[in-house]
Structure 1
């Protein structure tokens, strides 16, 4: 096996997961987006919402909705949404495939599917769940233009620190596994990760730009849908990639252990 094997299967897994995620995003996500747009167009909020930071658009949705770019809302919610989820899914699958190539055999006794699932879970927590907890995505009609720069910078700062802390936690857990056992070492690594990202999140400023008259139900539905969409994307990429890699790894291991036949 070589790196290209993992990369190509990662891209394929990402494409499959992207299509699945599009269906979920369309069903659970477009309703809250449309509700928020209706509130904005009805004058329910006076907040300048056109400044939603790029960091808040991490759920595969294009939250812009006007025709100023020449793209109708119907196109955004179908072909635009599908393009976003498929492209992001392929990119995520490729990255996870490359990381799996490095990590396989280095996470204790985990097999290929367990390794990929573990990496997917760690990535989901570090790259999405931690930033989500501090800076949750906002629907249309929420957000202020004056804070877009600072919000974006602080979101990506937390994202970078969270990913670095996750990598460090895995390295520490591997080194402690021989002394304390895999389970205890994993708990120590997870605790260290939680302490680091928790301290950083407390130090970073928070933003509450939701207008007082914005319906709490719509906000909750939008953020829940964003979380569900990302969970489906990361989960399906991990499951499909593990399933694609498992037979390849088995064949490679079988080829290494096969007894060579002497030449006649």
Structure 2
């Protein structure tokens, strides 16, 4: 059976756009005030560390105003959601290539949940999000490399857990579940074997905690909206293909 790639891509783009816009607005309303507080704290620390003999402190103007950055946050979230939708549709088609149109609702929710674990939650457990201005500019490449490695381990780990569960289909349910759980624990061990964050986080504990909670909440909202919209569109497409026979048809005999 051929995979209907174009309809899946359309569903992915629609779901990704809705999810990205929702997550962007969520971050704008709840996370951005915390980011503004973190920026003010970072500016205050910069003033405190300035040379005591300096006559004046030079202020560097921002390339973009905060209002422009807020708008850019929503646009970036939307674009990210669209790109995510394309990747999700391709992955969904590959995983369910034998019958991609079957059970669209539970499959969409399950696939979205697995993607949230692999791409968002597992990397965040090892490298939680930090407010802007935290970290040395010289370690940006190192921190990005570590985060990317965590994402790769998360994705490959979820694929491995799924493969273990599928290949043990002939075994009893407890055996399959224990094997999948053991594989997940091994993935976590590999994830936490990565080096720690090279920079200190000189931010108040309450602010840091709130920012990290809102960060992971925005990811959870992104994947939840994505799964719901993708699954609902799948149900709609399934209903169209199973249209009833014309009412004017006369039964034979």
TM-score range (shorter-chain normalised) is 0.7 to 0.9
Question: Can you list the C-alpha shifts for 1:84-104, whole angstroms capped at 9, x where unaligned?
Answer: 111111111222222222334
Q: Distance in 2 between matches of 1:201 and 1:132?
A: 11
Q: Offset of 1:112 from its aligned partner?
A: 1.3
2:247 corresponds to = none
SS at match of 2:168: helix
In structure 2, relative to structure 1, the CA distance for the partners of 1:113 and 1:46 (3 Å cut) is farther
Question: Can you list the C-alpha shifts for 1:102-146, whole angstroms capped at 9, x where unaligned?
Answer: 334879xx8211111111111111111111111111112311233
2:182 corresponds to = 191
2:224 corresponds, among 224, 228, 235, to 235
SS at match of 2:129: coil
1:96 corresponds to = 88
SS at match of 2:190: helix
Question: Does structure 1 conserve the Cα–Cα contact (< 8 Å) formed by 2:139 and 2:198?
Answer: no
2:69 corresponds to = 76
Question: Can you list the C-alpha shifts for 1:166-221, whole angstroms capped at 9, x where unaligned?
Answer: 1121122112123224x75255324302322x221232111263355x21111111
**TM-score, structure 2 as length reference:** 0.81
Unaligned segments of structure 1, at least 5 residues: 48-65, 256-260
Question: Does structure 2 conserve the Cα–Cα contact (< 8 Å) formed by 1:104 and 1:112?
Answer: no
In structure 2, relative to structure 1, the CA distance for the partners of 1:219 and 1:175 (3 Å cut) is same
Q: Distance in 2 between matches of 1:187 and 1:31?
A: 43
Q: Distance in 1 between matches of 2:115 and 2:48?
A: 37
1:129 corresponds, among 121, 127, 133, to 121
1:112 corresponds to = 104
2:33 corresponds, among 28, 31, 34, to 31
1:151 corresponds, among 139, 143, 161, to 143
1:8 corresponds, among 10, 15, 19, to 10
Q: Offset of 1:16 from its aligned partner?
A: 1.3
In structure 2, relative to structure 1, the CA distance for the partners of 1:46 and 1:233 (3 Å cut) is farther
1:54 corresponds to = none
1:244 corresponds to = 233
Unaligned segments of structure 2, at least 5 residues: 50-59, 244-249
1:226 corresponds to = 215
Q: Distance in 1 between matches of 2:217 and 2:107?
A: 23
In structure 2, relative to structure 1, the CA distance for the partners of 1:102 and 1:144 (3 Å cut) is same
Q: Offset of 1:45 from its aligned partner?
A: 8.2
- Pairs aligned (count): 234
SS at match of 1:179: coil
Q: Distance in 1 between matches of 2:201 and 2:160?
A: 39
